[in-house]
A and B are shown apart, each in its own frame.
Chain A
Amino acid sequence: MFDLEQAIADWRSQMLAAGIKTPVPLEELEIHLREEIEQLEKSGVDERTAFENAVRQTGQPQSLKNEFNKIETSFMKTILKCVTVLLIGIAAQLPGSLQLRDQLAMSDKWLGLWLLGLIFQMWSVESLRQIVQPKLTGRELKRVEWSFPKANLKTGAGVAVLLVGIALMVPAATQSVRDGLVTFDAWCRLVFGLCLLIAGTLVVCFPYQRRAV
Protein backbone atom coordinates (compact mmCIF):
# COMPACT_ATOMS: atom_id res chain seq x y z
CA MET A 1 0.00 0.00 0.00
CA PHE A 2 1.48 3.34 -1.07
CA ASP A 3 1.80 5.87 1.75
CA LEU A 4 2.02 9.39 0.29
CA GLU A 5 3.10 11.03 3.56
CA GLN A 6 5.88 8.48 3.99
CA ALA A 7 6.94 8.97 0.36
CA ILE A 8 7.09 12.74 0.87
CA ALA A 9 9.06 12.27 4.10
CA ASP A 10 11.54 10.07 2.18
CA TRP A 11 11.77 12.69 -0.56
CA ARG A 12 12.51 15.33 2.12
CA SER A 13 15.28 13.10 3.50
CA GLN A 14 16.79 12.81 0.03
CA MET A 15 16.71 16.60 -0.34
CA LEU A 16 18.33 17.04 3.07
CA ALA A 17 20.95 14.42 2.23
CA ALA A 18 21.73 16.28 -0.98
CA GLY A 19 22.35 19.40 1.09
CA ILE A 20 19.16 21.48 0.80
CA LYS A 21 19.23 22.17 4.51
CA THR A 22 17.82 25.67 4.73
CA PRO A 23 14.16 25.45 5.72
CA VAL A 24 12.60 27.95 3.31
CA PRO A 25 13.60 26.37 -0.04
CA LEU A 26 12.75 22.89 1.20
CA GLU A 27 9.36 23.99 2.51
CA GLU A 28 8.60 25.78 -0.74
CA LEU A 29 9.63 22.74 -2.77
CA GLU A 30 7.44 20.48 -0.64
CA ILE A 31 4.45 22.79 -1.05
CA HIS A 32 5.10 22.76 -4.78
CA LEU A 33 5.35 18.98 -4.82
CA ARG A 34 2.04 18.64 -2.97
CA GLU A 35 0.30 21.07 -5.37
CA GLU A 36 1.59 19.09 -8.36
CA ILE A 37 0.47 15.77 -6.85
CA GLU A 38 -2.96 17.23 -6.12
CA GLN A 39 -3.37 18.48 -9.70
CA LEU A 40 -2.21 15.17 -11.19
CA GLU A 41 -4.63 13.28 -8.97
CA LYS A 42 -7.46 15.58 -10.06
CA SER A 43 -6.65 14.68 -13.67
CA GLY A 44 -7.16 11.01 -12.83
CA VAL A 45 -3.63 9.79 -12.12
CA ASP A 46 -3.25 7.44 -9.17
CA GLU A 47 -1.44 8.61 -6.05
CA ARG A 48 1.82 6.70 -6.60
CA THR A 49 2.20 7.77 -10.24
CA ALA A 50 1.27 11.35 -9.33
CA PHE A 51 3.98 11.37 -6.67
CA GLU A 52 6.61 9.87 -9.00
CA ASN A 53 5.76 12.30 -11.81
CA ALA A 54 5.76 15.27 -9.44
CA VAL A 55 9.17 14.29 -8.02
CA ARG A 56 10.57 13.93 -11.55
CA GLN A 57 9.14 17.29 -12.57
CA THR A 58 10.49 19.02 -9.45
CA GLY A 59 14.06 18.03 -10.33
CA GLN A 60 17.06 16.11 -9.06
CA PRO A 61 18.11 16.98 -5.48
CA GLN A 62 21.74 17.51 -6.47
CA SER A 63 20.97 19.96 -9.30
CA LEU A 64 18.55 21.84 -7.07
CA LYS A 65 21.12 22.03 -4.31
CA ASN A 66 23.73 23.34 -6.76
CA GLU A 67 21.38 26.11 -7.86
CA PHE A 68 20.49 27.13 -4.30
CA ASN A 69 24.14 26.94 -3.27
CA LYS A 70 25.08 29.42 -5.97
CA ILE A 71 22.92 32.05 -4.25
CA GLU A 72 23.70 31.25 -0.65
CA THR A 73 27.44 30.82 -0.93
CA SER A 74 28.41 33.21 -3.67
CA PHE A 75 27.54 36.32 -1.67
CA MET A 76 29.14 35.27 1.62
CA LYS A 77 32.17 33.70 -0.05
CA THR A 78 32.89 36.82 -2.04
CA ILE A 79 32.55 39.05 1.02
CA LEU A 80 34.84 36.72 3.00
CA LYS A 81 37.42 36.66 0.20
CA CYS A 82 37.41 40.45 -0.08
CA VAL A 83 37.75 40.98 3.68
CA THR A 84 40.62 38.45 3.82
CA VAL A 85 42.48 40.19 1.01
CA LEU A 86 41.83 43.56 2.69
CA LEU A 87 43.31 42.30 5.96
CA ILE A 88 46.33 40.83 4.15
CA GLY A 89 46.79 44.21 2.48
CA ILE A 90 46.67 46.03 5.82
CA ALA A 91 49.09 43.51 7.37
CA ALA A 92 51.50 43.94 4.46
CA GLN A 93 51.59 47.70 5.08
CA LEU A 94 52.24 47.43 8.81
CA PRO A 95 56.06 46.95 8.87
CA GLY A 96 56.63 49.82 6.46
CA SER A 97 54.19 52.10 8.28
CA LEU A 98 55.82 51.37 11.65
CA GLN A 99 59.27 52.03 10.21
CA LEU A 100 58.01 55.30 8.73
CA ARG A 101 56.55 56.34 12.09
CA ASP A 102 59.74 55.52 14.03
CA GLN A 103 62.42 56.63 11.56
CA LEU A 104 60.52 59.02 9.24
CA ALA A 105 61.78 56.87 6.38
CA MET A 106 60.85 53.57 4.73
CA SER A 107 63.34 51.04 3.37
CA ASP A 108 63.08 49.64 -0.15
CA LYS A 109 61.80 46.22 0.82
CA TRP A 110 59.12 47.56 3.19
CA LEU A 111 58.07 50.12 0.59
CA GLY A 112 57.64 47.29 -1.95
CA LEU A 113 55.53 45.36 0.53
CA TRP A 114 53.60 48.52 1.42
CA LEU A 115 52.74 49.10 -2.25
CA LEU A 116 51.73 45.45 -2.69
CA GLY A 117 49.45 45.84 0.35
CA LEU A 118 47.93 48.92 -1.24
CA ILE A 119 47.15 46.94 -4.43
CA PHE A 120 45.48 44.23 -2.30
CA GLN A 121 43.41 46.84 -0.47
CA MET A 122 42.32 48.56 -3.66
CA TRP A 123 41.25 45.26 -5.22
CA SER A 124 39.23 44.25 -2.17
CA VAL A 125 37.58 47.65 -1.74
CA GLU A 126 36.57 47.73 -5.41
CA SER A 127 35.24 44.15 -5.21
CA LEU A 128 33.24 44.97 -2.08
CA ARG A 129 31.89 48.10 -3.73
CA GLN A 130 30.68 46.08 -6.71
CA ILE A 131 28.78 43.70 -4.42
CA VAL A 132 27.48 46.07 -1.78
CA GLN A 133 26.72 49.23 -3.75
CA PRO A 134 23.87 47.83 -5.89
CA LYS A 135 22.26 46.47 -2.73
CA LEU A 136 22.51 49.78 -0.88
CA THR A 137 21.72 52.21 -3.67
CA GLY A 138 19.95 50.01 -6.21
CA ARG A 139 22.35 51.25 -8.86
CA GLU A 140 25.20 49.63 -10.71
CA LEU A 141 27.68 50.70 -13.36
CA LYS A 142 26.95 50.41 -17.04
CA ARG A 143 29.50 50.56 -19.84
CA VAL A 144 28.97 53.59 -22.09
CA GLU A 145 30.58 54.68 -25.34
CA TRP A 146 32.01 58.21 -25.21
CA SER A 147 31.67 60.20 -28.42
CA PHE A 148 33.86 62.99 -29.89
CA PRO A 149 34.81 65.50 -28.43
CA LYS A 150 33.87 64.18 -24.98
CA ALA A 151 36.06 61.09 -25.36
CA ASN A 152 39.12 63.13 -26.38
CA LEU A 153 38.64 65.65 -23.57
CA LYS A 154 38.26 62.82 -21.08
CA THR A 155 41.42 61.07 -22.32
CA GLY A 156 43.38 64.35 -22.38
CA ALA A 157 42.38 65.27 -18.82
CA GLY A 158 43.11 61.73 -17.61
CA VAL A 159 46.58 61.65 -19.20
CA ALA A 160 47.43 65.08 -17.71
CA VAL A 161 46.47 63.96 -14.20
CA LEU A 162 48.31 60.67 -14.72
CA LEU A 163 51.52 62.51 -15.77
CA VAL A 164 51.37 64.84 -12.74
CA GLY A 165 51.01 61.72 -10.60
CA ILE A 166 54.10 60.12 -12.16
CA ALA A 167 56.07 63.38 -11.73
CA LEU A 168 55.21 63.43 -8.01
CA MET A 169 56.49 59.86 -7.65
CA VAL A 170 59.90 60.64 -9.17
CA PRO A 171 61.60 61.93 -5.96
CA ALA A 172 60.67 58.75 -4.10
CA ALA A 173 61.95 56.56 -6.94
CA THR A 174 65.23 58.55 -7.11
CA GLN A 175 65.74 58.29 -3.35
CA SER A 176 64.96 54.61 -3.43
CA VAL A 177 67.54 53.91 -6.14
CA ARG A 178 70.17 56.21 -4.59
CA ASP A 179 69.78 55.55 -0.84
CA GLY A 180 67.75 52.35 -0.60
CA LEU A 181 65.09 54.17 1.44
CA VAL A 182 62.40 56.82 1.03
CA THR A 183 62.05 59.78 3.40
CA PHE A 184 58.69 60.85 4.85
CA ASP A 185 58.44 63.87 2.48
CA ALA A 186 59.09 61.75 -0.58
CA TRP A 187 56.71 59.07 0.69
CA CYS A 188 53.92 61.67 1.04
CA ARG A 189 54.53 62.80 -2.54
CA LEU A 190 54.59 59.17 -3.63
CA VAL A 191 51.20 58.49 -2.05
CA PHE A 192 49.69 61.67 -3.52
CA GLY A 193 51.23 60.79 -6.90
CA LEU A 194 49.76 57.29 -6.68
CA CYS A 195 46.32 58.77 -6.01
CA LEU A 196 46.64 61.00 -9.09
CA LEU A 197 47.98 58.06 -11.14
CA ILE A 198 44.96 55.97 -10.21
CA ALA A 199 42.54 58.85 -10.77
CA GLY A 200 44.08 59.60 -14.19
CA THR A 201 43.99 55.93 -15.22
CA LEU A 202 40.35 55.69 -14.17
CA VAL A 203 39.44 58.79 -16.16
CA VAL A 204 41.22 57.42 -19.26
CA CYS A 205 40.06 53.80 -19.02
CA PHE A 206 36.78 53.87 -17.11
CA PRO A 207 33.97 53.71 -19.68
CA TYR A 208 31.14 53.45 -17.16
CA GLN A 209 28.24 55.43 -15.80
CA ARG A 210 25.74 54.63 -13.08
CA ARG A 211 22.36 53.20 -13.90
CA ALA A 212 19.52 51.55 -12.01
CA VAL A 213 19.82 47.78 -11.63
Chain B
Amino acid sequence: MIRKELVAASAEPLVLALLAKEESYGYAIIQEVKARSDGKLNWTDGMLYPVLHRMEHRGLIKSRWGESETGRKRKYYSLKKDGKTAMAKHHEHWTLIHGVLSGLRKEQYV
Protein backbone atom coordinates (compact mmCIF):
# COMPACT_ATOMS: atom_id res chain seq x y z
CA MET B 1 0.00 0.00 0.00
CA ILE B 2 1.46 3.34 -1.06
CA ARG B 3 1.42 5.96 1.72
CA LYS B 4 -1.26 8.60 1.27
CA GLU B 5 1.33 11.41 1.49
CA LEU B 6 3.13 9.98 -1.52
CA VAL B 7 -0.13 9.44 -3.37
CA ALA B 8 -1.06 13.08 -2.73
CA ALA B 9 2.38 14.34 -3.77
CA SER B 10 2.28 12.37 -7.00
CA ALA B 11 -1.22 13.49 -8.00
CA GLU B 12 -0.22 16.75 -9.69
CA PRO B 13 2.70 15.38 -11.76
CA LEU B 14 0.63 12.37 -12.83
CA VAL B 15 -2.33 14.50 -13.89
CA LEU B 16 -0.03 16.86 -15.78
CA ALA B 17 1.70 13.96 -17.52
CA LEU B 18 -1.62 12.37 -18.50
CA LEU B 19 -3.02 15.64 -19.79
CA ALA B 20 0.18 16.25 -21.77
CA LYS B 21 -0.80 13.26 -23.92
CA GLU B 22 -4.33 14.47 -24.62
CA GLU B 23 -7.23 16.23 -22.96
CA SER B 24 -9.15 14.05 -20.55
CA TYR B 25 -11.81 14.04 -17.83
CA GLY B 26 -11.82 13.05 -14.17
CA TYR B 27 -13.12 9.49 -14.46
CA ALA B 28 -10.74 8.61 -17.30
CA ILE B 29 -7.77 10.11 -15.47
CA ILE B 30 -8.47 7.95 -12.42
CA GLN B 31 -8.97 4.81 -14.49
CA GLU B 32 -5.74 5.37 -16.40
CA VAL B 33 -3.73 5.92 -13.22
CA LYS B 34 -5.24 2.77 -11.72
CA ALA B 35 -4.48 0.76 -14.85
CA ARG B 36 -0.92 2.05 -15.21
CA SER B 37 -0.14 1.30 -11.54
CA ASP B 38 -1.86 -2.11 -11.55
CA GLY B 39 -4.37 -0.70 -9.08
CA LYS B 40 -1.65 0.12 -6.54
CA LEU B 41 -2.09 3.87 -6.87
CA ASN B 42 -5.65 4.05 -5.71
CA TRP B 43 -6.99 7.58 -5.28
CA THR B 44 -10.21 8.31 -3.47
CA ASP B 45 -12.00 9.31 -6.67
CA GLY B 46 -13.60 12.50 -5.38
CA MET B 47 -10.26 13.84 -4.19
CA LEU B 48 -9.06 14.20 -7.78
CA TYR B 49 -11.51 17.03 -8.44
CA PRO B 50 -10.15 19.43 -5.80
CA VAL B 51 -6.69 18.71 -7.25
CA LEU B 52 -7.93 19.50 -10.78
CA HIS B 53 -9.67 22.67 -9.60
CA ARG B 54 -6.58 23.79 -7.70
CA MET B 55 -4.43 23.24 -10.79
CA GLU B 56 -6.92 25.14 -12.92
CA HIS B 57 -6.90 27.94 -10.35
CA ARG B 58 -3.11 28.12 -10.63
CA GLY B 59 -3.30 28.34 -14.40
CA LEU B 60 -1.65 24.97 -15.07
CA ILE B 61 -4.65 23.44 -16.83
CA LYS B 62 -7.87 24.64 -18.45
CA SER B 63 -11.28 23.03 -18.75
CA ARG B 64 -14.26 22.92 -21.09
CA TRP B 65 -17.63 21.23 -20.91
CA GLY B 66 -18.23 18.61 -23.58
CA GLU B 67 -20.22 15.47 -24.21
CA SER B 68 -19.38 11.79 -24.21
CA GLU B 69 -20.25 9.56 -27.15
CA THR B 70 -23.41 8.60 -25.26
CA GLY B 71 -24.37 12.23 -24.79
CA ARG B 72 -23.37 12.45 -21.12
CA LYS B 73 -22.02 15.82 -20.02
CA ARG B 74 -18.30 15.77 -19.21
CA LYS B 75 -15.76 18.33 -18.11
CA TYR B 76 -12.59 17.92 -20.15
CA TYR B 77 -9.25 19.18 -18.87
CA SER B 78 -6.20 20.06 -20.95
CA LEU B 79 -2.72 21.35 -20.29
CA LYS B 80 -1.76 25.02 -20.48
CA LYS B 81 1.69 26.42 -21.21
CA ASP B 82 2.43 26.90 -17.50
CA GLY B 83 1.33 23.31 -16.94
CA LYS B 84 3.97 22.09 -19.38
CA THR B 85 6.63 24.06 -17.52
CA ALA B 86 5.37 22.70 -14.19
CA MET B 87 5.41 19.17 -15.60
CA ALA B 88 9.03 19.56 -16.72
CA LYS B 89 9.94 20.74 -13.21
CA HIS B 90 8.11 17.83 -11.59
CA HIS B 91 9.85 15.43 -13.95
CA GLU B 92 13.22 16.91 -13.07
CA HIS B 93 12.54 16.62 -9.32
CA TRP B 94 11.14 13.08 -9.42
CA THR B 95 14.00 11.94 -11.67
CA LEU B 96 16.46 13.41 -9.19
CA ILE B 97 14.83 11.61 -6.25
CA HIS B 98 14.68 8.38 -8.24
CA GLY B 99 18.34 8.74 -9.22
CA VAL B 100 19.46 9.33 -5.63
CA LEU B 101 17.44 6.37 -4.35
CA SER B 102 18.66 4.07 -7.12
CA GLY B 103 22.27 5.10 -6.52
CA LEU B 104 22.00 4.41 -2.80
CA ARG B 105 20.33 1.08 -3.44
CA LYS B 106 23.07 0.02 -5.87
CA GLU B 107 25.74 0.91 -3.32
CA GLN B 108 24.16 -1.48 -0.82
CA TYR B 109 24.84 -4.39 -3.15
CA VAL B 110 28.42 -3.49 -4.12
A residues whose Cβ falls under 8 Å from a Cβ of B: 24-25, 27-29, 31-32, 34-36, 57-59, 63-64, 67-68, 70-71, 75, 134-135, 138, 212-213
Contact flag A31-B72 (CB < 8 Å), given A71-B57, A212-B82: yes
Query: How far, in whole Å, are A36 and B58 apart by their CA atoms in the complex?
Result: 28
B59 touches A71 (CB 8 A): no
If over half of B's interface residues share one DSSP class (helix, strand or loop), that class is named, otherwise mixed; here it is helix
Decide yes or no whether B95 CB sits under 8 A from chain A. no
Set B26, B45, B47, B54: member contacting A71, Cβ < 8 A: B54
Contact flag A138-B59 (CB < 8 Å), given A31-B73, A213-B82: yes
B27 touches A35 (CB 8 A): yes
Which residues, 59 to 83 on B, are CB-close (under 8 Å) to A? 59-60, 72-75, 81-82
A-B residue pairs, 8 tightest by C-beta: A59-B46, A67-B50, A59-B44, A35-B27, A58-B46, A212-B85, A64-B46, A58-B45
Chain A hits for B46, CB < 8 A:
29, 32, 58-59, 63-64
A213 touches B58 (CB 8 A): yes
Determine the interface band of chain B, counting residues with CB < 8 A from chain A: 20 to 34
8 more CB-based (< 8 A) A-B contacts, given A64-B50, A138-B81, A213-B60: A28-B75, A32-B46, A58-B44, A68-B53, A70-B50, A134-B58, A212-B85, A213-B58
Query: How far, in whole Å, are A63 and B58 apart by their CA atoms in the complex?
Result: 22
Query: How far, in whole Å, are A84 and B50 apart by their CA atoms in the complex?
Result: 28
In the complex, what's the smallest C-beta–C-beta distance from A213 to chain B, in angstroms?
5
Query: How far, in whole Å, are A32 and B46 apart by their CA atoms in the complex?
Result: 8
